[in-house]
């Protein structure tokens, strides 16, 4: 079973600065977290133009909720969490859940 953390970032004050910091500083810190098995990012777009979408999202996958907790308790996890305050001027919302895979047959 996979346990996923989703981080949704609000619109930053300086998008170019956010992008550069995320790419050059935050990713290298985050990938050092023990137990991290997958890390994906993207810039979502709302399907309905009347709705807003986050500026940026990150998905971090772990083998379990306990593994995620241990990762954030580690030195690398603490460094990644502390770094968030240095670049996420638009705020960040974090949610997590057990991933349930739905098989589609055609």
Q: Which pLDDT score, from 0 to 100, does residue 1 have?
A: 83
CA-CA distance, 32 to 10, in Å (whole number)? 24
What are the per-10-residue average pLDDT scores of the chain (106 residues)? 96 97 97 97 95 97 97 97 95 97 90
User: What is the CA 62 to chain-centroid distance, rounded?
Assistant: 12
**Residue 78 and residue 47 in contact, taking contact as beta carbons nearer than 8 Å:** no
Q: Which pLDDT score, from 0 to 100, does residue 82 have?
A: 96
Burial of 33 (0-12, 13-18, 19+ CB in 10 A): buried
Q: What is the pTM of this model?
A: 0.92
CA-CA distance, 4 to 60, in Å (whole number)? 6
User: What is the CA 24 to chain-centroid distance, rounded?
Assistant: 15
């Amino acid at each position: 079973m996979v346990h996923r953390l989703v981080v949704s970032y609000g619109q930053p004050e300086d998008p170019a600065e956010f992008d550069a910091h995320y790419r050059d500083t935050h990713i290298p810190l985050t990938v050092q977290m023990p137990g991290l098995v997958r890390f994906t990012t993207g810039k979502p777009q709302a399907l309905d133009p009347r709705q807003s979408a986050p500026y940026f999202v990150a998905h971090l996958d772990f083998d379990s909720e306990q593994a995620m907790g241990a990762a954030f308790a580690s030195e690398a996890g603490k460094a990644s969490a502390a770094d968030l305050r240095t670049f996420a001027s638009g705020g960040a919302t974090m949610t997590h859940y057990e991933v349930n895979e739905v098989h589609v047959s055609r």
